[in-house]
Amino acid sequence: MEISSPEKPLSAAESLERRVAELTILYEVSRALQKLSDEEKALYTILVGVTHGRGLGFNRAFILLVDSKEEWLEGRLAIGPSSAEEASGIWHDLREKHQTLGELLNLLVESDIKKDLRVNGIVSQFRIPLSDGGNPLLKIMRSREACLAVNGTFEPHGFAVDPVLPSLLGVSSFAAAPLYLADEDLGLLLADNAITQAPIDLPNLRLLQIYAQEASEAIQNIRLYRALMEKIALCERVNQTLRENQYYLLQAERLSTIGKMATLLAHEIRTPLVSIGGFARRMLRTTPPDDPRKEEMDIIVSEVSRLERLVNEVLGYSKLVKPEYKPTDVNSLVRSVLLIMQDEIEKHSVRAVLNLDPSLPSAEADESQLRQALLNLVTNSIEAMPSGGVLSITTSLDREYFEIGVCDTGLGITQEHLGKLFTPFFTTKVTGTGLGLTVVSHVADNHNGSLRFDSMPNQGTSFHMRLALHPDVASATRTPPRAASTREVTS
Amino acid sequence: MSTILVVDDDKNLRRLYQAELEAEGYRVILAEDGKQAVKLAASESLDLIVMDIRMPEMDGLEAMARLLQDRVGLPIILNSAYSYFQENFLAWAAEAYIIKSADLSPLKEKIRAALRAQPPDQLLSRNS
């Protein structure tokens, strides 16, 4: 191994002194680094330690780091004078101030970074893609061992020095120490003596390597700290959002309680209002037009009406109960009903046949009402076939209407029962509410449609719901329930 | 003379409905809740029922279901301070649904219309 300055044997005292100095540098720098949370300041502190006379004593130092996306090894920061004159000025100042490394580093922690222009111009030109496996700097970083560029070769590795490096740095001899953690290559620390041209000796290189390890940990600590701070900031933001949401929730709960109370109160008020207003109207009717109390009764009647309107508004009675029309895929609704009824169909040995018109467009329908109607019809059909049979469901399109047919091969409806089919609570079943067809017929009404059926005793029954694709919302507003006698029935 | 059973848990309203409906020429019987209504319907000959919904003992919807199982086709007008029972399938079995108001003319109109209507059996036999 050829090194520009061969190691001179040191006396025991010199050796001890040197060790103490090395430990002092490491101690001072790591103490300063512990106070920092800013990565650039930490890098600067590391570089100061490399170049300070009471530190490692190099003239200049450069830090190259792997970027956060792990694509490049990039020059990040450098320190060092541009010329011999600048150097002697700086070094003179430092001697005058008699600052220890610790004092200087303490000052750095407090103050802003002064960037040396020339060296930072140099360092910014380092940008090596990590994919470039043959690059000697990358090879050094990955070797995790410090080396010295001298006479065109990196010693002790033996890689040839890319001629670009000496021309970029302006020196032929420089030291390179990898920055790394157990499982991650962080970058490289470069140092040279460009001003004094002093040779770099092996103990110096070893110290740079140890120092680089200290620096690596400092960089990692700062990154971890920063990541932690980001997490904390995130937690704080989440907390803040939670607090805000909690506030809104409480607000909403409070409003809903007020709403509930208002509804309760409105209902409670309605009954006495009917009494007051109702009796006032009665008295008014029996009061002669010239009675002076007539005007006062008028006031009672009109004020009660006003209060009733107010109560209606509070309770939202101005809006009539309407079906909720939404675009509905009728064919898939039919399939879903069949799926719900699958167990029943199998239990009764019924065979289900579907004949669905694939060209059926999406219909404006109240899906839950339509599903209920279909369920009722399918249930009736299945129950009409106690010893099995065929249940067939068809859909078809007829201009602005669609039709759903539910047919069975069951018992049929007897003449005696025919007239009572839609009568609420009329039922021939042991279990059953007798509301099934009442509901179907209401659903047909709600969709501007109609319901018709055919039945032959012992041959079967078929129901056909004919519903508007786009029920006119205005005219389909649910009419008050009508008596069975007014249903449209054809048989 | 048609007989109307008025079911309401409010004493003042019972009195109001009785006075107003008797003035229209109906015979009026009163019940305080659904349970009483079901009991009365068994012994009285009724043409129509005006039924409140929210009542103690038995509510109007349950009473209506019981009454209609025995007396298929009996017109029942639901008369409630609440509108949301309209969404209940049970309420769809009623002849009409009215929200209580000091103006009794809509109720009277529904009663007249229901009593005018012929029994379902007659209508259907004419149609078929």
Number of domain units in chain B: 1
Q: Which residues in chain B have Cβ-Cβ distances shorter than 8 Å to A284?
A: none
Does one domain contain both A109 and A194? Answer: yes
Q: Does B105 touch chain A (CB under 8 A)?
A: no
Q: Does B103 touch chain A (CB under 8 A)?
A: yes
Q: Which residues in chain A have Cβ-Cβ distances shorter than 8 Å to B127?
A: 489-490
Cα A491 from chain centre: 58
**Mean local confidence (pLDDT), B104-114:** 93
Does one domain contain both A273 and A202? Answer: no
Hey, is A60 helix, strand or coil?
strand
Range of the domain at B95: 3-127
**Mean local confidence (pLDDT), A241-245:** 80
**Mean local confidence (pLDDT), A90-103:** 72
Give tens-digit pLDDT for A380-428: 899 889 889 999 999 999 888 999 999 999 988 887 777 777 776 666 7
Does one domain contain both A401 and A335? Answer: yes
* DSSP conformation letters of A287-333: S-TT-THHHHHHHHHHHHHHHHHHHHHHHTTTSPP----EEE-HHHH
Task: Write down which residue in A210, A229, A248 finishes a domain.
Answer: A229
**Mean local confidence (pLDDT), B81-92:** 79
Task: Measure B3 CA to nearest chain A CA, in Å.
Answer: 18
* DSSP conformation letters of A358-410: TTPPPEEE-HHHHHHHHHHHHHHHHHT-TT-EEEEEEEEEETTEEEEEEEE-S
CATH number at residue A153: 3.30.450.40
Does one domain contain both A24 and A74? Answer: yes
How is chain A split among helix, strand and coil, in percent rounded to 5?
A: 50, 20, 30
Cβ of A271 and B119 within 8 Å?
no
Q: Which of A111, A116, A124, A108 is nearest to A49 (CA)?
A: A108
Q: Is A12 exposed, middle or buried (0-12, 13-18, 19+ CB in 10 A)?
A: exposed
Give tens-digit pLDDT for B23-61: 999 999 999 999 999 999 988 889 999 999 999 888 999
Cβ of B19 and A419 within 8 Å?
no
Comparing A397 with B83, the larger pLDDT belongs to A397
* Distances from the Cα of A267 to the Cα of A36, A270, A298, B99, angstroms: 68, 5, 24, 11
CATH number at residue A410: 3.30.565.10
Cβ of B73 and A486 within 8 Å?
no
Distance CA A109, CA A28 (A): 12
Q: How many CB pairs under 8 A join A and B?
A: 126
Mutant choice from A260, A271, A437 vs B, greatest count of B C-beta within 10 A: A271
Q: Is A453 exposed, middle or buried (0-12, 13-18, 19+ CB in 10 A)?
A: buried
**Residue A251: pLDDT over 80:** no
CB A344 within 8 A of CB A317: no
CB A5 within 8 A of CB A200: yes
Task: Select from B13, B90, B93 the Cβ nearest to the Cβ of A275.
Answer: B13
Nearest residue of chain A to residue B77 (CA atoms): A481
- Whether A1 is in a domain gets the answer no
Distance CA A366, CA A446 (A): 9
Q: Does A195 touch chain B (CB under 8 A)?
A: no
User: What single-letter amino acid sits at A86?
Assistant: E
Does one domain contain both A71 and A114? Answer: yes
The model's pTM is: 0.47
Mutant choice from B17, B78, B85, B101 vs A, greatest count of A C-beta within 10 A: B101
pLDDT score for A443: 86
* Distances from the Cα of A89 to the Cα of A53, A93, A192, angstroms: 14, 6, 19
Among A241-250, A315-324, B11-20, B32-41, where is mean pLDDT lowest?
A315-324
CB A208 within 8 A of CB A189: yes
Nearest residue of chain B to residue A485 (CA atoms): B120
- Whether A368 is in a domain gets the answer yes
Number of domain units in chain A: 3
**Residue A138: pLDDT over 50:** yes
pLDDT score for A430: 60
Percentage of chain A beyond pLDDT 90 is 23
Q: Which of A49, A145, A57 is nearest to A104 (CA)?
A: A49
Give tens-digit pLDDT for A12-36: 787 787 778 777 777 888 777 777 7
CATH number at residue A270: 1.10.287
Task: Write down which residue in A181, A196, A229 finishes a domain.
Answer: A229
| Beta strands A159-160; A153-155: pairing state | antiparallel
Does one domain contain both A288 and A348? Answer: no
Does one domain contain both A201 and A289? Answer: no
Q: Which residues in chain A have Cβ-Cβ distances shorter than 8 Å to B12?
A: 272, 275, 279
Task: Select from B83, B103, B120 the Cβ nearest to the Cβ of A484.
Answer: B120
**Mean local confidence (pLDDT), A286-315:** 87
Does one domain contain both A118 and A45? Answer: yes
Two structure tokens written together for A342: 């699958």
Q: Which of residues 73-92 of B touch A (CB under 8 A)?
A: 73, 75, 81-84, 86-87, 89-92
Task: Measure B98 CA to nearest chain A CA, in Å.
Answer: 8
- Whether A459 is in a domain gets the answer yes
Give tens-digit pLDDT for A327-364: 989 998 898 888 888 888 888 899 999 999 999 999 98
Cβ of B86 and A321 within 8 Å?
yes
Cβ of B95 and A482 within 8 Å?
yes
Cβ of B81 and A267 within 8 Å?
yes
Give tens-digit pLDDT for A436-452: 787 888 888 888 888 88
Nearest residue of chain A to residue B87 (CA atoms): A321
The CA-based dihedral angle spanning residues A471, B96, B88, A319, taken in that order and rounded to the nearest 10 degrees? 60
Does one domain contain both A104 and A176? Answer: yes
- Whether A4 is in a domain gets the answer no
- Whether A2 is in a domain gets the answer no
pLDDT score for A425: 65
Two structure tokens written together for A431: 């279990």
Please name the residue that has the structure tokens 């709600």. A446
pLDDT score for A486: 34
Distance CA B98, CA B86 (A): 9
Hey, is A177 helix, strand or coil?
strand
Distance CA A60, CA A81 (A): 7
| Beta strands A389-398; A460-468: pairing state | unpaired
Q: Which of A440, A354, A360, A448 is nearest to A396 (CA)?
A: A360
Number of Cβ within a 10 Å radius of residue A75: 24
Two structure tokens written together for A170: 């302006």
CATH number at residue B18: 3.40.50.2300
- Whether A112 is in a domain gets the answer yes
Task: Measure B34 CA to nearest chain A CA, in Å.
Answer: 17
Does one domain contain both A31 and A175? Answer: yes
- Whether A5 is in a domain gets the answer no
CB A79 within 8 A of CB A113: no
**Mean local confidence (pLDDT), A85-111:** 73
Does one domain contain both A177 and A208? Answer: yes
- Whether A210 is in a domain gets the answer yes
Q: Which of A392, A428, A419 is nearest to A484 (CA)?
A: A419
Please report the ipTM that was assigned to this predicted complex. Answer: 0.83
Does one domain contain both A291 and A210? Answer: no
pLDDT score for A11: 76
Task: Write down which residue in A289, A315, A341 finishes a domain.
Answer: A315
| Banded pLDDT at B101 (limits 50, 70, 90) | very high
Percentage of chain B beyond pLDDT 90 is 58
Cα A85 from chain centre: 59
Range of the domain at A276: 239-315
